[in-house]
Every structure is written in structure tokens, then in C-alpha cells.
Structure 1
């Protein structure tokens, strides 16, 4: 099941990670945060029309909030509630813009972005007359591309390179729908991921009768034996639009 979270109709895709920027035929390796000039050059490579940005997981923290049986009344009160729960759960210091989607009764997916970064992108779009239609975490974009084939419980790693063969990033898993989401800013090498993150998560899912049957990996060129069939995702898979 695809999650229609922060998604919109047809739009050109801008792919922005900490180490690279893609937009159409425009490709750029980054050594630091993308400048407004670099972002403007990327947008210039796209046809006129709305843009949808896929952003590095470390800039768009996400969390599953469970057992929410009663919510405040009114849209503004609910937005404030989810922003508070999101900020408290992740111990965030900077203010974040937060959106939430109920994926099962009482379980909500909440994702956020620093208000400063969001405002920068929105203002850039206004100055260049480029309508920004959506901001999507990288892991969610990948999950939605996988969604048509998620017939069996599985697991996805969405990784950000941190140098010396180490990665930070996101682990998500699904049974009937998304059921586990964990994120780490602390980098580990692939073997450390297997031992400290994948194996314990798989054991938890087994107790929940959602034993993963496969492991999809984005961001690493190869992966050691993890006890699951591994599929490496590449740019040909990821840099496309989701319907």
C-alpha cells in the first residue's frame, strides 16, 4: 500500500542529499550544504511546472506515533499536538514543520523538516517562479516505489554515506503496512548495521509475526550477508516519479 503522504500529482523531481544534487539531467556532487545558486541551477534544468523534492532522511526526521485513540478537536489543535509529540519524541531543539498521516487506526506517521530549510526552499521557488508541490523524505519515496510489490513482509534501508564505508540512515519494515521505522544519525559500517540494527529489528518483527522476507538497500553499492535476500537499489530505480 502506497502512503499518499506529502505526495502530489505529476511534478518534476529534485533529489537533494547531503552529498549530491540531481534534477533531470543536472548532476552535482556536494561537499557541503547546497547553495541557493546551486539549487537554482538544478531547477533551471527542469521543464516549467511544479517540482517535488526528495530530501535526505537526516533532514526530514520521521517517526511512527502509536496508540493515539483521542486527538484534539480542530485542525489547528491537531497540528500543534503532532508538532509537540514529534518534537518531544525526537528531542529536537530547532522548530520543525510537521505533517502526519494515519496509516492504521491509532498509528500515525509523522515527518518533519526544519522550518528554516523549508522556508528557504519555498522562497527559492517563489523567486524563480517554480511552484514547490511537495517535500518527501528519501525513505518514503523509496518505500512508495517498492509498494506495488510489497506482498510479503520486508525491510528497507535508506542510507546516507558518512565516509570510511560507514552509513547513517533509516530502517523501515512492513507487514500488511508500514510497521517499524527507526532512524540513526550515528554512522556504522555494514557489518555494524547487520549486528546492531538489522538483526535486532528482525527479531522484534518475528515476535510480532511480521518476519521480514527480504531486505532492500539504498545508498550502498554492496552489502554483506544479512540473513535475508538482499536487493540493492540504484539510481535507475530511485530517480523516477511515483504516480
Structure 2
């Protein structure tokens, strides 16, 4: 099941990881949030027209909200409600722009981005006449990319290399639809992810009668045996070119 609200339109792709920016053949290392000059150089490498921005998970936190059977009436009231729930759930101190999408009755996916970061990106795009169609978290872009082939319950790891062999990032899982989302800014090596994050998540899904049968991994060159059918995703899958 794709999540249509944030599905990518027909536009050029600007890819922002915490450690790199990719725009067509333009690839440059990053060390955290890009500067305006770095973004301008990347956008200049793309054809004229609209762009879709795929943004580092740690800059675009997400949360699944469950058992929301009654919502405030009116678009503005609902927007304020989801923003409040999102801020409370993640204990955020800085204001975030939040989008929410119902993934099944009573369950909503909310994704946000710091308001100042979003505003700087939009203002830059306006100055350069490069319309932004979407700002999508990396994990969600990858999930939507996989969605047509997700015949079995499974997991996706969207990883951000922090230092040699250690990763922060996102774990999502699905059965009939998205059912689990967890994010960690603290880096662990692959064995730590297996022991402290994947195994407990798989145990939870087992209790929920949604045991995962496959594991997709983005951001790591290799992965230890997890007991699941494992596929490493690489740049060729996303960018359509050889490394």
C-alpha cells in the first residue's frame, strides 16, 4: 500500500542525507544540514522545473498515532491537534510543520520538519525558481518505492551512517499496511541494531500476529544474518544508475 499524500510527483529528485547530497550526477559529501550554497549547487545540476526533495529521516521525524476515533472538526483544528500530538509524542522543543495521513481507520502517520528548516528550503527554491512539490522523509520514499512488491509482511531499515559501521535511522514494518514505526538518533553497529532494535520489534509484531518475513535495508553495505529474507537496497535501485 502506497501512502498517496506524500507520494513523489513527476519531478526531478534532490536527495539529502545527513552525510551527502545527490542531484542527478551531482554528488557531494555533507556534514549535517546543508548550507544554502550547497543546496543551490545541487539544484543547479537538475533540469529546469519542479523538484521533489527526499530528506534525511532525522530532520523529518515521523510517528504513528493510534486509536484516534474522534478528531476536532475543521481543517485548522485538526492541523493544530496533530501538531500538538506530534510535538508531545516526540518531546520536541522546536516548532515543526506537520502533515498527517490516515493509514487505516483510527491510525494516522504524522511527519514533520522544523519550521525554520522548511522555510529556508522553500525560500531558496523560490529565489531559484525551483518549485518544491514534496518534502518527503527518506524512509517514506523508500517504502513507497517498495510498496508495489510488498506481498509479505516485512521490515525496512532506513539507515544514516554516523561513523564507521554505526548507524542511526528508522525501522518501519507492515502487514496489510504500515503498522510499526520507530526512529533512533543514537548510532549502533549492525549487531546492536539486531539485538536492541530489530529483535524486540519482531517480537512485538509476533505478539500482534504480524511476524515479519522479509527485511529491506538502505544505507549499509552489508548486514548480518537476521533469520529473515534480506535485501540490501543500493543507489541503483533509487537513482537508476551504477555506482
> Considering the TM-score relative to the shorter chain, is it more than 0.5?
yes
What is the match of residue 19 of structure 2?
Answer: 19
What is the match of residue 190 of structure 1?
Answer: 190
What is the match of residue 174 of structure 2?
Answer: 174
Q: Does 1:215 align with 2:206?
A: no
Q: Does 1:145 align with 2:108?
A: no
**Cα RMSD after superposing both structures:** 0.9
What is the match of residue 160 of structure 2?
Answer: 160
What is the match of residue 119 of structure 2?
Answer: 119
Matched position secondary structure for 2:22:
strand
What is the match of residue 102 of structure 2?
Answer: 102
Q: Does 1:236 align with 2:236?
A: yes
What is the match of residue 72 of structure 1?
Answer: 72
Matched position secondary structure for 1:5:
helix
Q: Per-residue displacement from partner, 1:156-200 (whole Å, max 9, x unpaired)?
A: 000001103110000000000000000001111000000011011
| TM-score scaled by length of structure 2 | 0.97
Q: Per-residue displacement from partner, 1:90-136 (whole Å, max 9, x unpaired)?
A: 00000000000000000000000000110010000010011011000
Matched position secondary structure for 1:162:
strand
Matched position secondary structure for 2:176:
coil
| TM-score scaled by length of structure 1 | 0.97
What is the match of residue 205 of structure 1?
Answer: 205
Shift of 1:48: 1.0
Indicate conservation of the 8 Å contact 1:15/1:239, yes or no: no
Indicate conservation of the 8 Å contact 2:9/2:52, yes or no: no
Taking the aligned partners of 1:149 and 1:199, their CA distance within structure 2 comes to: 24
What is the match of residue 129 of structure 2?
Answer: 129
Indicate conservation of the 8 Å contact 2:162/2:187, yes or no: yes
Shift of 1:8: 4.7
Distance 1:194 1:8, change over 3 A: closer
| Number of residue pairs aligned between Structure 1 and Structure 2 | 240
Structure 1 gaps of 5+ residues are none
